Every structure is written in C-alpha cells, then in structure tokens.
C-alpha cells in the first residue's frame, strides 16, 4: 500500500515535470524553418484538419500547390502542411497548418496552429495551445517566418507516457539512494530501519524484533552487541 502510494506519487511528479519541460521547450526552444518548403503533396495526402484549412480554389489563382514538411530540434517537432498559391494579384500567398509538438526527451505535448505567413504579424489560429504574450513572442520571434509559440496543452499519448516514466525514474533515483543508505546505517547502529528508534535491549521473538516506537515495521536481522 505504502509502496503503491509512493509509485503513484512519483508518477504524478514525473508527469508534472514532463509538462513543465514541454512548456519550457515551447517557451525557450524554437523550430526554425528547414531548407526549402518541403515535399510537394496532393491535398488528399494532408490530414483532415489541415485539408479543411488549406483546401482553396480561387478562379484568379494561376497555381495552387501543397507541401509537407517536418522540422525537428532538441525542443520539438513541427509537422507542417503548407499551401502556396500564385495569383495574378496579389502574388505569393502561403498558408500553413502545423502540429507543433514540444518536449524532451520525447515530444509530449502539442498544439495546432493555422495562419498566413509571415508570423507573427498575422494573428494565427490556435488549437490546444495557450499563446505566449505578445511581449514574449516578439522577443523570441523578432524575425519572421516562425509560428509564434504557445504553451502546448494537448498530451501526445506515447511521448507523454515515456517522458513521465523517464522523469519519475529520474526523481526516484536520489530518493531511493538516500533511503537505502539511511536504512543500512540504521541497521548497522541497531536502530529501527523505519523510524530510527533504538532497538538496543529489545527482545526478539522468533528472530523478529517489533519496534516499540512504530510497531508495524519488523526487522529480522539481529545485530547483537
């Protein structure tokens, strides 16, 4: 019971750290645009959410094409779908729909963003994200062509699980080391390994000592002096 409670506690702490790290990645990390505009694809090849935003046919437009691109940094991944149209007037008009995924070591949280280049001059549409303040954004993205960051709010099942386990283990390690060392030291000094109460003079029953202080915890090894 106590062990189960401890496991749940560390998993919760791991999840909290995981979310904080993902937000820190979104806040201070960046995903610059890769080389070129990506691979040309058919509109049918885009995910439904993106297709809904990107599908566009206008009679005055000479040329409409769709691209897919994935950029990755230590802080996150952008899965990006763009539409480029060439019209008689005005000329190039790119439009983007992206899944912005943040976190370390795996990407664990995401938001979706849709809008017109260049960012962040145009107000983008957000989904599942809490946009950073304009002040923060202008510092981060003083140059254009970057989606202004938001704090991601939607967990990615696999990445969220892996990161939570990773941080839970990371937090548990120093805790486990400390309790193991303390337990050994207490046994060596003939103290109760659980609460530290002195067991000198305690009478063992069937080689088991019941701690008079905390009662429940028993210790089989008997160090007689």
Q: Which is nearer to Zn ion, 70 or 194 (CB)?
A: 194
* Least distance to Zn ion, CB of residue 215, Å: 7
* Least distance to Zn ion, CB of residue 194, Å: 5
> How far from 62 is each of 28, 42, 65, 68, 94, CA to CA, in Å?
40, 17, 10, 21, 14
> How far from 49 is each of 111, 152, 220, CA to CA, in Å?
12, 17, 63
* Least distance to Zn ion, CB of residue 105, Å: 40
Nearest CA to 211 out of 189, 188, 195 is that of 195
Q: Which is nearer to Zn ion, 12 or 214 (CB)?
A: 214
* Neighbour tally for 104: CB within 10 Å: 18
Q: Which is nearer to Zn ion, 89 or 220 (CB)?
A: 220
d(CA 169, CA 159): 15
Q: Which residues bind Zn ion (CB under 5 A)?
A: 192, 194-195, 197, 211, 213-214
d(CA 132, CA 101): 15
Q: Which is nearer to Zn ion, 100 or 191 (CB)?
A: 191
Q: Which is nearer to Zn ion, 20 or 181 (CB)?
A: 181
* Least distance to Zn ion, CB of residue 185, Å: 14
* Least distance to Zn ion, CB of residue 6, Å: 18
124: its two tokens: 């983008």
* Least distance to Zn ion, CB of residue 214, Å: 3
Q: Phi and psi for 198 in degrees, rounded to 5?
A: -70, 130
Which residue is it, tokens 């429940």? 216
Q: Phi and psi for 116 in degrees, rounded to 5?
A: -100, 140
Q: Which is nearer to Zn ion, 73 or 200 (CB)?
A: 200
């Amino acid at each position: 019971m106590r062990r189960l409670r401890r496991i749940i506690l560390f998993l919760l702490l791991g999840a909290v750290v995981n979310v904080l790290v993902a937000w820190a990645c979104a806040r201070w990390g960046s995903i610059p645009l890769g080389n070129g505009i990506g691979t040309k694809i058919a509109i049918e090849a885009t995910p439904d959410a993106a297709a809904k935003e990107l599908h566009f046919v206008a009679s005055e437009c000479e040329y409409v094409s769709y691209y897919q691109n994935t950029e990755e940094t230590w802080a996150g991944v952008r899965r990006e779908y763009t539409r480029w149209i060439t019209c008689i007037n005005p000329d190039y008009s790119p439009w983007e729909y992206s899944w912005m995924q943040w976190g370390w070591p795996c990407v664990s949280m995401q938001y979706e963003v849709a809008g017109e280049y260049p960012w962040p001059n145009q107000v983008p549409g957000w989904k599942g994200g809490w946009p950073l303040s304009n002040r923060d954004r202008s510092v981060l993205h003083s140059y254009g062509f970057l989606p202004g960051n938001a704090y991601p709010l939607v967990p990615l099942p696999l990445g969220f699980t892996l990161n939570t386990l990773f941080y839970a283990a990371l937090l548990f390690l120093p805790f486990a080391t400390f309790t193991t060392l303390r337990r050994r030291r207490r046994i060596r000094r003939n103290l109760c390994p659980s609460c530290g109460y002195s067991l000198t003079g305690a009478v063992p029953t069937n080689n088991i000592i019941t701690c008079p202080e905390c009662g429940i915890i028993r210790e089989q090894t008997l160090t007689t002096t």
